[in-house]
Structure 1
Amino acid sequence: MKSKLNILFITLFYNILNINSSKCQTVYYVDSSVPNNSSNGLSWINAKKDIQDAIKIANTGDEIWVKAGIYKPTETPYQTTDSPRNFTFYVKSGVSIYGGFSGTETLREQRDFVNNTTVLSGDIGLENYENDNCFHVILASASSGSSLGVKIDGFTIKGGYSNSGRYININGNDIFDYGGGIALYNGRNNISNNIIVGCSALMGGGLFMIRGQNTIFNNKIIDNKTFIDRNGSGGYGGGLYTQDCSSLINNNLFTNNLGAWGAAVSLYNGNNQMENNTIKENIASNSGGGIYIDNGVNNIKNNLISKNSAYNGAGLNLLGNTSTLLNKNILSENNASNLGGGIYTYSANLEIYNNLFVSNSALRGGGILSNATTSIINNTFVNNNASVVGGGLFMTYANFTLFNNIFWNNKINNQNNLFGADVYDYFYFSNSDIRSNLLQLSSENYNIGPNPKGNLFLLNPQFLNINDFLGPDNIFFTADDGLQIQTNSPAKNSGNITLLPTNLTTDITGSSRIQENIVDMGAYEFKNPCPTTLSIPTGEGNSGVFLASGYIQSSATVANPTIYSSSKAIILNPGFQVITNRNFTAIIEGCTN
């Protein structure tokens, strides 16, 4: 019944959204193969030839459907043709543009943007000579505080080259050499299902956003770059730069981007969420091969950050007045020539929960080098390497909490038995709170004193397969991941439940963090095989999460918060009761082996 009600609610909500969004909406059609723009654009037969001609006649709420082909801008935002490098697709606020049509569709859902390639190109001069390309392929400039924005969906956007040192003013915004592919100023914008490739700018080579509320979803942002001008300005965000924005950056691929700071992504100020992105093989000449963060509030969750390179912070570089939660990410094979292979942080407030740090490398701090207030809880550090010290973690000048983590086979110069191979504190742990971790060396290496504080030393964590952390299915966050602990692991049930922050309720796979009324060390919580049936007898104190793939029967007394989850049925026998003011939840969902 619960599932049916949810489906009904979602369906009704979706229909309401469709009714509201389609009210007074006009669709304009664009087809590069028609001879000119003389038709009204109201059907495929009467399509416009140029996208900008359709944009001119569109109003708020209207859509523009673009047939597969190659399109280039033909005028400036001022509707002049005297300065070709200022040519751009200037999109009015409130207008949505969709690519990927074959030219016969009557519903937007019928398009195929994967196979019907629709190219927006800034290569308007000599082919493959970027110095005469457009400064911005797409430009949107909303007024300050505007609740309207644009949607760009289903295009390949390439060839923007913003390098002039000039600026123009549009709608009250000074437009600089930022955003070779797309430049967004203010408004509520949605950039989805695009390939942004081969674009360059001083900042935001692929995409530049400032002072807006933006959704960046399911794009491939590849082979873009930023450069530094003769005054030393620029270089931020080879793939993406965002400033003073509220941004949702989800399900994107960032790869092979170049920049000085934040080769893939640079976040400056604002409130940003990055989730389910793949950020790999980007190169920063200075800091942040994957992500560079300066100020703001940021939630970085469920991302793969891998094989990026930089001088400092190859995977992630944080500084300034930033508060960042890093949760359920994989940072692997990132390489910094100086500090922090996985992460380098300076003067930032950082919470690091449920992450994997695998095979990252640096001069100091192979996994992490932190010079900031940092909480590191329930992470797994494996096979990281530092040339000098701190193969897993290097802590300096900062207050640390290090709880419920696993450190194993981290190295200095590829040797895993040296002091500081896993954890090194510049002040020899005088500013650190280190409790309930599995550490790879003997206790005298950590200045913890005679009380081990729940820490374990020199014990093999018994991973499922340390050499294959994806597992046979090659998919992260699944049941066969190699860095899960096994039933005989010393890390099982050895964490400290009282050290968990209130917002750490699940492990890296999304499973409940508290099982068997205790917590494990590391990013993965051990999960017992799921029974087909589960019978819970009469007894006081019944609490926790109980799972079955078939049926659950219970005669218990629920004295503490309790969840029953079964795929087929939950049977509450005579004698079952819930004590007053206690929480009990029954879910028809269950689990699988």
Structure 2
Amino acid sequence: MKPRYLLGLLMFLSSVSYGQTKHFVKQTASGAGTGLGSWANAAGAAQLQGIIAGAASGDTVWVAMGVYHPTTYPAGFTGGTTTRDYAFALTNGVAVYGGFAGNETYLSQRNVSLYVTSLSGDIGVAGVITDNCYHVIATYNVTTTAILDGFKIDSGYANGGASISDGGQTFSQSEGAGICDMKSQPTLANCTFVANQATSEGGAIYFNNCNALPITNCTFTTNTAGGNGGAISKETSSPITFTNCSFTGNQTTVAAGTTGGGAIYSASGSNDVITNCTFTNNKSANAYGGALFYNGTSTLTMSHCMFTQNNAGTYGAGLADIGGTSFTVSNCNFNNNAALYGGGIYSNGGSSTYAYDTLANNTATSTTGAGGGGFYVDGTNPIISHCWFDANVTNGGNGAGQYDNGSASPTDSNTVFQANIAKGTTSNGGGYYHTGGTGFFVNDVFVDNACAVNGGAYYNNSSQPVENCTFYNNTAGTGDHGGGYYDVGGSGIKFYNNILWNNAPDNFYSLGAAGSMKLKYNNFPEAASYPVGGSVVGNIHQTPPFYNTGSYVGADGKWATLDDGLHLTTAADSGGVDAVPPSGTNGSYGWPGDDIVGTYRADPGKDSADMGAYEDGIIPLPLSLVQFTAVPASEGGAIDLSWSVTAGGAVTRFQVTRSTDGIIFQTIASELADPNQDTYQYVDNTAPDGVLYYRLVMTYAGGTTGYSAVLEVTRTSLAASVQIRPNLVEQRSTTLYVGGVKQAGQVMIHAVDLMGRTWINHPITLTLGDNYTLLDLGDMPRGVYYLVITGANGWRRVLPFEKE
């Protein structure tokens, strides 16, 4: 009997929790006006808040296009006295959707961009902001099950001097004009926040003590705060995941103090993730962070974001952090931003990592002293790798590419500084300016940088080691020194395995004492330009055999790839090729494990390495000698590769290499060459789904190496067509159609509801051609679901369907 009672209890709870009733709201009530059943019985605009509050967990509310105003005080808050205290509130377990014309039957039919559904705080005289609601939405103690999706939120004006309470905490009405969120974690998706204004914190949204909050596909435009966070201000442990969001024209207007964040301000305790977001033309007044300002101990993981034309009155137009924030920033672009110091990024405190980021055309507007057109590092120790500093400028300060101040000890590796210019009559360090701490530089390239005084590429006032770097065509001021490298002589330099050539007026210049200098195995022309003595050994003065100084990035247009022009092109022992003895010759540093491209320097049995940032005497093979093609196979999703060689018996071995990012390649096949064969083929049956890059590596008699051009190809999907028939399911089952299958095998099927709960989880086997599979939906309740199908090699399809 116990199992039966338990089953009955579970069925009862299921019916209570997952009723999933649809509620419909239009500007004007129609039919019965209850909001139940269909659009024909839609509730009116004034009933919207009541419908949301009265919905049960699992219900959805569909709201047609139009403008909706708050009509009640928000649940969970007390102390409201006027209509300006009205605000919408969300309900746990209830998903509220906008973007409907008012005649749809499926959620997938709505069009958020065409059928704009606005939640507006403009409740008084139209267009007069001073009588608007303090907050358009005020949420208290809700979870991620409370969903707001497909709305425009505008015209909130949080300027109240009074306060209202959440029952345990009092806060000012001057915070969060669009949304004021206390102790909550709602889900925000496909929303637009426009022209909201707060006299204190968070022009569009103010978060306080919120948890694990996702914000997806949202837009924040021309919102303003008098304090922190022109669009968003986050206080007291409010972590947020931002995905595919845009921030444009937001600003803070406060004139002084440790404030800012034209787009986003984050206080201590916020552990955020920001992915695929754009920040354009945001502004922080005389303060920090034109776009982002992190103040205090927090963490940030950010990738594939774009920062353009942002402005900060003092520090960090794109990004500023102080007080211990730990960042991981990768594949982000900071372009054309401007601040007094740190045009792209300002960092003070914490332990941060920057990888594969581009900082270009940023400006530090200070006319003297500190600068940092691209990056200002202040008393912290970031790890910077595979980054590109291009055409950044200081208007008079030092360090156009990167400026390090005081005890800063950064690590810069596999990074390029190109065409950065330190302007002004007293400016030093076109590419890089360092004073104070240690850190080190390794496998970096400095090219075409310039300054008005000393250190066209690099200005040093510390014992910071510089190892296996290439300095080419950099320029210091007329009558000054160190077009390539300038050492002020403060701490005794450590300079190992570098190439400095064609820099003006000189390549290397140091004021350091001979006894404190460690200058080993470098190549530069001026044999007498440094003191004799100390650890000064192994330096040469021979023209380096660069592959092509007329094209630094080569035919593929990318730095740090195998066709870069500053590779050394001969295997002979000259100009820096094989000129560095085994590890141990340069103190505790030895050879770097890889070069800037990723070529391994210390192969087994190798007794020497190259000077400079590149290893192995690369000889990029002229394209006329090799025809190399990569195309999707007709069946099975494989990639057909073929090549022809006109070099006869000179080739001894072929290697086929593959990459998913165009930077790091792995060998997937190797074949010995036949002197009597000039055409070859290989089928890549292990290719993952998506965009792939292929490169052919050829080994010639004598040990030299040739490389083909990099080919880009998109692997065909496992199947050509995937459908649910029908996708409005009224029975216990529906049919999954997977057509044009090109690779037989097993795939996994998952059915997930809007709350993230999984209802189906099992494999099916696909055969070549067309497949029809009956999906048993069992007793799944009514509602909207996503069918997620995943296969081998990363193949994935997501299909929405609705159970009636």
With normalisation by structure 2, the TM-score equals 0.53
1:295 CA displacement: 1.4
Unaligned runs of 5+ in 1: 1-24, 103-110, 125-131, 168-175, 228-234, 413-420, 532-546, 552-564, 572-587
Counterpart amino acid of residue 315 in structure 2: Y
1:22-37 alignment to 2 at 5 Å?
A: 33-36=65-68
Query: Structure 1 residues 48-57 or 516-525, which shifts more?
Result: 48-57
Query: Could you say which residue in structure 2 is the equivalent of 1:384?
Result: 474
Helix, strand or coil at the partner of 1:279: strand
Counting aligned pairs with the same residue, the percent is 21
Unaligned runs of 5+ in 2: 1-56, 71-87, 101-116, 121-134, 166-170, 193-214, 622-652, 658-665, 673-686, 688-693, 698-706, 708-804
C-alpha deviations, 1:349-401, integer Å up to 9, x for none?
A: 13000001011111210011111121000000000000121100110112211
Would the aligned equivalents of 2:492 and 2:513 in 1 still touch at CA under 8 Å? Answer: no
> Are residue 121 (structure 1) and residue 218 (structure 2) matched?
no
Residues 452 and 274 (structure 1), Cα distance of their counterparts in 2 relative to 1, 3 Å cut: closer
Would the aligned equivalents of 1:289 and 1:315 in 2 still touch at CA under 8 Å? Answer: yes
1:187-586 alignment to 2 at 5 Å?
A: 187-201=270-284, 202-210=287-295, 211-227=297-313, 235-243=314-322, 244-286=324-366, 287-310=371-394, 311-337=397-423, 338-362=427-451, 363-387=453-477, 388-396=480-488, 397-412=490-505, 421-427=506-512, 429-441=514-526, 443-448=527-532, 453-457=537-541, 459-488=542-571, 490-498=575-583, 499=586, 501=589, 504-515=592-603, 516-526=606-616, 549=655, 567-568=668-669
Would the aligned equivalents of 1:291 and 1:317 in 2 still touch at CA under 8 Å? Answer: yes
Alpha-carbon distance between aligned partners in 1 of 2:279 and 2:470, rounded to the nearest angstrom: 34
Counterpart amino acid of residue 377 in structure 2: I
Query: Could you say which residue in structure 1 is the equivalent of 2:12?
Result: none
Counterpart amino acid of residue 409 in structure 1: N
Helix, strand or coil at the partner of 1:473: coil
Query: Structure 1 residues 475-484 or 515-524, which shifts more?
Result: 515-524
Would the aligned equivalents of 2:582 and 2:591 in 1 still touch at CA under 8 Å? Answer: no
Helix, strand or coil at the partner of 1:321: coil
C-alpha deviations, 1:502-538, integer Å up to 9, x for none?
A: 693111012212243421101011266799xxxxxxx
Match of 1:150 among 218, 222, 240: 240
Residues 276 and 451 (structure 1), Cα distance of their counterparts in 2 relative to 1, 3 Å cut: closer
Q: Aligned pair count?
A: 480
Query: Could you say which residue in structure 1 is the equivalent of 2:735?
Result: none
1:470 CA displacement: 0.9
Helix, strand or coil at the partner of 1:297: coil
Counterpart amino acid of residue 513 in structure 1: R
Alpha-carbon distance between aligned partners in 1 of 2:612 and 2:364, rounded to the nearest angstrom: 30
Residues 101 and 35 (structure 1), Cα distance of their counterparts in 2 relative to 1, 3 Å cut: closer
1:275 CA displacement: 1.0
1:307 CA displacement: 0.7
Residues 54 and 42 (structure 1), Cα distance of their counterparts in 2 relative to 1, 3 Å cut: farther
Query: Could you say which residue in structure 1 is the equivalent of 2:690?
Result: none
C-alpha deviations, 1:165-214, integer Å up to 9, x for none?
A: 488xxxxxxxx531111001122111222211222221111110022111
Query: Could you say which residue in structure 2 is the equivalent of 1:574?
Result: none
Residues 313 and 528 (structure 1), Cα distance of their counterparts in 2 relative to 1, 3 Å cut: closer
1:59-70 alignment to 2 at 5 Å?
A: 59-61=142-144, 66-67=149-150
Alpha-carbon distance between aligned partners in 2 of 1:386 and 1:26, rounded to the nearest angstrom: 68
Counterpart amino acid of residue 344 in structure 1: Y
Would the aligned equivalents of 2:519 and 2:536 in 1 still touch at CA under 8 Å? Answer: no
Alpha-carbon distance between aligned partners in 1 of 2:137 and 2:61, rounded to the nearest angstrom: 7
Query: Structure 1 residues 36-45 or 348-357, which shifts more?
Result: 36-45
Helix, strand or coil at the partner of 1:322: coil
Match of 1:177 among 249, 259, 267: 259
Alpha-carbon distance between aligned partners in 1 of 2:529 and 2:62, rounded to the nearest angstrom: 69
1:431 CA displacement: 2.8
Alpha-carbon distance between aligned partners in 1 of 2:475 and 2:234, rounded to the nearest angstrom: 46
Alpha-carbon distance between aligned partners in 1 of 2:60 and 2:544, rounded to the nearest angstrom: 61
Query: Structure 1 residues 65-74 or 239-248, which shifts more?
Result: 65-74
Query: Structure 1 residues 387-396 or 188-197, which shifts more?
Result: 188-197
Counterpart amino acid of residue 351 in structure 1: F
Alpha-carbon distance between aligned partners in 2 of 1:269 and 1:323, rounded to the nearest angstrom: 11
Would the aligned equivalents of 1:28 and 1:65 in 2 still touch at CA under 8 Å? Answer: no
Query: Could you say which residue in structure 1 is the equivalent of 2:77?
Result: none
Structure number with greater Rg is 2
C-alpha deviations, 1:217-270, integer Å up to 9, x for none?
A: 22111111122xxxxxxx111111011101111111111111111111000011
C-alpha deviations, 1:468-493, integer Å up to 9, x for none?
A: 11111111211111111102552111
1:570 CA displacement: 11
Alpha-carbon distance between aligned partners in 2 of 1:433 and 1:510, rounded to the nearest angstrom: 27
Alpha-carbon distance between aligned partners in 2 of 1:191 and 1:27, rounded to the nearest angstrom: 30
Helix, strand or coil at the partner of 2:528: helix
Alpha-carbon distance between aligned partners in 1 of 2:59 and 2:262, rounded to the nearest angstrom: 28
Residues 360 and 151 (structure 1), Cα distance of their counterparts in 2 relative to 1, 3 Å cut: same
1:142 CA displacement: 4.0
Would the aligned equivalents of 1:436 and 1:454 in 2 still touch at CA under 8 Å? Answer: yes
Alpha-carbon distance between aligned partners in 2 of 1:474 and 1:160, rounded to the nearest angstrom: 35
Helix, strand or coil at the partner of 2:97: coil
Counterpart amino acid of residue 375 in structure 1: P
Query: Could you say which residue in structure 1 is the equivalent of 2:249?
Result: 159
Residues 87 and 510 (structure 1), Cα distance of their counterparts in 2 relative to 1, 3 Å cut: same
Helix, strand or coil at the partner of 1:385: coil
Residues 180 and 70 (structure 1), Cα distance of their counterparts in 2 relative to 1, 3 Å cut: same
Alpha-carbon distance between aligned partners in 2 of 1:268 and 1:430, rounded to the nearest angstrom: 34
1:153 CA displacement: 2.2
1:464 CA displacement: 1.1
Helix, strand or coil at the partner of 2:139: helix
Residues 298 and 85 (structure 1), Cα distance of their counterparts in 2 relative to 1, 3 Å cut: same
1:95-110 alignment to 2 at 5 Å?
A: 95=185
Query: Could you say which residue in structure 2 is the equivalent of 1:20?
Result: none
Q: CA RMSD in A?
A: 4.0
Helix, strand or coil at the partner of 1:456: coil
Would the aligned equivalents of 2:593 and 2:602 in 1 still touch at CA under 8 Å? Answer: yes
Counterpart amino acid of residue 204 in structure 1: G
Alpha-carbon distance between aligned partners in 2 of 1:254 and 1:212, rounded to the nearest angstrom: 22
Alpha-carbon distance between aligned partners in 1 of 2:145 and 2:374, rounded to the nearest angstrom: 37
Alpha-carbon distance between aligned partners in 2 of 1:63 and 1:343, rounded to the nearest angstrom: 49
Counterpart amino acid of residue 301 in structure 1: S
Alpha-carbon distance between aligned partners in 2 of 1:295 and 1:63, rounded to the nearest angstrom: 42
1:430 CA displacement: 4.5
